[in-house]
Chains A and B, each alone.
Chain A
Amino acid sequence: MPSLNDYLILSAVLFTIGTAGVFVRRNLITILLSIEIMLNAVNLSFVAFGRAFGTVEGQIIVFFVMTVAAAEAAVGLAIVIALFRHRESLNPDAFTALKW
């Protein structure tokens, strides 16, 4: 039977993978996907804490995190589409000017 610590360690590992993805990858889509990995790692720890304390708030905050993730994905992908239309590139290094 896994304990709370096991779930928190798994959550930490997933969060680290997401952080490494944001740092290492040079592709805007993959960076957004890495942010989704990080949000899900946090969701896992919220659910584990809610289960450990026997409260319902753990699942409710997962609901709110998912709405924020949906909004972030929609706006982020719209920005990616607008940037791609200007530069024909998904590399963040291509977007160094504030105006073009």
Chain B
Amino acid sequence: MLFYFFGALAVIASLLVIAQRNPVYSVLLLITSFGALSGLYVLLDAPFAAAIQIIVYAGAIMVLFLFVVMLLNTPHEDTDADEKTHPMLRPGPMRFGAAMAVALLGELAWALSRSGPTSTFSNTPVTSLSAIGYTLFTDYAFQFEVTSVLILVAMVGAVLMARREDQPGEKR
């Protein structure tokens, strides 16, 4: 029952994300969708994933998005043609892209329908944070360190690219 509630909430919020004109509403609806996904993680006995979904994704990444949206201050899309038509009803390659997305859904549903009956999660769940931490810092210690390098590179790259170029004749 809760699965259908959270699933419907996630799907509806995600659909509204791509149907909104104003990016601020899109970001807020995406946070709603992430909250629903966090509830699904709790149903899947993964409280660690649920917690970092809220704290890192909804709390940090989405706030970064919201910050940039408000910094750029572009509540609407640019051209007049874009303003007049709804985003889902535009011609040409966009309609073709939407058709391709529907085809992708059909393929995935077809693949899943051929997989036969599946389990209803009879295994004992791994919920303890210590088990996750132990595996993360033993079996996946190298990957964890590589991730820290990735974050460092991303941070330096973001600072470098978003930096305002110096005006000629202006002192540093």
Contact = CB atoms under 8 A, between A and B. Distances in A.
A26 B23 contact: no
A89 B162 CA distance: 16
Contact of A91 (B33, B48, B79): B79
A32 to B, nearest CB: 7
A63 B136 contact: yes
Contact of B46 (A1, A26, A51): A51
Contact of A23 (B78, B94, B155): B94
Interface of A: 1-10, 12-27, 29-30, 32-34, 36-37, 40, 43-44, 47-48, 50-60, 62-64, 66-75, 77-82, 84-85, 89-91, 94
Interface string B151-169: 1011101111110100000
A24 B46 CA distance: 33
A47 B78 contact: no
B97 A17 contact: no
- A interface secondary structure, majority: helix
Given A3-B118, A8-B112, A14-B14, A78 B65 contact: no
Contact of B97 (A9, A24, A29): A24
A43 B10 CA distance: 13
B26 A37 contact: no
B68 to A, nearest CB: 5
Contact of A73 (B40, B65, B74, B90): B65
Given A12-B105, A81-B162, A62 B61 contact: no
A85 B126 CA distance: 48
Given A9-B109, A33-B65, A56-B132, A43 B140 contact: no
18 contacts: A5-B118, A12-B109, A13-B105, A17-B14, A20-B101, A23-B97, A23-B101, A25-B87, A37-B30, A44-B37, A51-B45, A51-B121, A54-B125, A72-B154, A77-B68, A79-B161, A82-B161, A82-B162
